[in-house]
Structure 1
Amino acid sequence: MENIEEIELVKLGKGLPAITLSFGATLAEACAICLEERGHSQGVEISIYGDFKATFKLYWQTITDQMLRCWNDREYTTEQAAYGIAFILVRNLTDFTVIERSRKGTGFDYWLGVEGEANELPFQNKVRLEVSGIREGDDRRVKSRVKQKVEQTKASDGTFPAYIVVVEFSKPLSFMVRK
């Protein structure tokens, strides 16, 4: 039997190079809301497909009534939760981490880089990250979203590769592709 790595989503609250402690904690809350709303229990397995293959067990903080009232916008909550899952997957499956938020209109959400690596040239050895979340959808919808996001990143194609991460919360699963 294979040993499946455990991920504590609350650790997002420790921050990342481009994610403050408070924003990381916010993403962890969104993840907890999406997973519990879909009826998942602590330790639910998330399967990763696409150019990466993996399975992780997810753990999150206890949901409160205040959190439910705060995260009442399902679309926004799903988007934020997808960011949280994507950031963890990137850190666990690649040598990269989130180093800077992208600006609107670029066709992607964040810049990835190697943590602690000081490059003399800005954005040398960097990767674009585009993320999308689906609260509940079948394989066809997930694959369609991946295709849509690959197309969206064409606006910034050129020197830098891109990772596209689509997170689906009802199974849960994620497609993670490199472009």
Structure 2
Amino acid sequence: MAFFNIEQLGEIVHPNISATQCDTLAEYCIVALENETHKSGCILKVLGDHQNEYELIWSKEVKKGGYQEPKKIVEKAAEAISFFLVRECTEYTVVMESKIGTGVDFWLSYDELHELYDPLNFLQARIEISGIKTESKSNKAMKRQTSKKKQMNRSDSSNLPAYVSIVEIATPKAIFSKK
């Protein structure tokens, strides 16, 4: 079984995303998982286009005083897990946050070592990410995926491949798929 060391998030994203930002997202992810009583070694089930299971590991003890807003904790944890899934399930890496109104959260690029990487035209794909603390009858991950795919229509004129990542923390599970 493959694993994801949450504390090493900064090693798998494009250098345009700072190590500090990655460390913060990693801490959010650890807090979110621990708030749901998960411990290092818990299993993330990935559904969608790339079905797999990953062991989530961490050793850091996070001071939780700065992590109190439940919605923000879940949102940022979903980003951390989705950054990992982009790397595992596509040939891209997260390169840049998008602006509000584009219908996506982040732009993706080939890694700088990839043969198709072009520093003058490095936006190669896009992703919309959503987090759910606990799935319910009225808040299903599959339903959220459908609505997020529609939201991405705003940036369809880019003609770039599009991905959706829905992360549910309580299980934990993710649905990762191409639009």
Question: TM-score w.r.t. structure 2 length?
Answer: 0.90
- The answer (yes or no) to whether the contact 1:130–1:165 under 8 Å persists in 2 is yes
2:144 maps to: 145
Displacement of 1:161: 1.6
Instruction: For residue 104 of structure 2, give the secondary structure of its aligned residue in structure 1.
Output: coil
1:6 maps to: 3
Question: TM-score w.r.t. structure 1 length?
Answer: 0.90
Distance 2:55 2:101 in 1: 35
Instruction: For residue 112 of structure 1, give the secondary structure of its aligned residue in structure 2.
Output: strand
The 1:56–1:120 alpha-carbon spacing in structure 2 relative to 1, beyond 3 Å, is closer
Displacement of 1:42: 1.3
Percentage of matched positions with identical amino acids: 31
Displacement of 1:121: 5.7
1:29 maps to: 27
Displacement of 1:119: 1.9
Distance 1:73 1:63 in 2: 19
Residues 67-86 of structure 1 aligned to structure 2 (within 5 Å): 67-86=63-82
- RMSD across aligned positions (CA): 1.7
The yes-or-no answer on 1:161 pairing with 2:161 is yes
Distance 1:7 1:51 in 2: 19
2:46 maps to: 48
Residue 169 of structure 1 aligns to which amino acid in structure 2? I
The 1:170–1:77 alpha-carbon spacing in structure 2 relative to 1, beyond 3 Å, is same
Q: Which aligned segments of 4 or more residues in structure 1 are displaced greater than 4 angstroms?
A: none
In the alignment of these two chains, the number of paired residues is 173
Q: Which runs of 5+ in 2 are unaligned?
A: none
2:131 maps to: 133
Q: Which runs of 5+ in 1 are unaligned?
A: none
The 1:119–1:68 alpha-carbon spacing in structure 2 relative to 1, beyond 3 Å, is same
Distance 1:173 1:60 in 2: 17
1:46-88 CA deviation, whole Å, 9 max, x = no partner?
1111111111000123434xx3210101111111111000000
- The answer (yes or no) to whether the contact 1:29–1:61 under 8 Å persists in 2 is no
The yes-or-no answer on 1:177 pairing with 2:156 is no
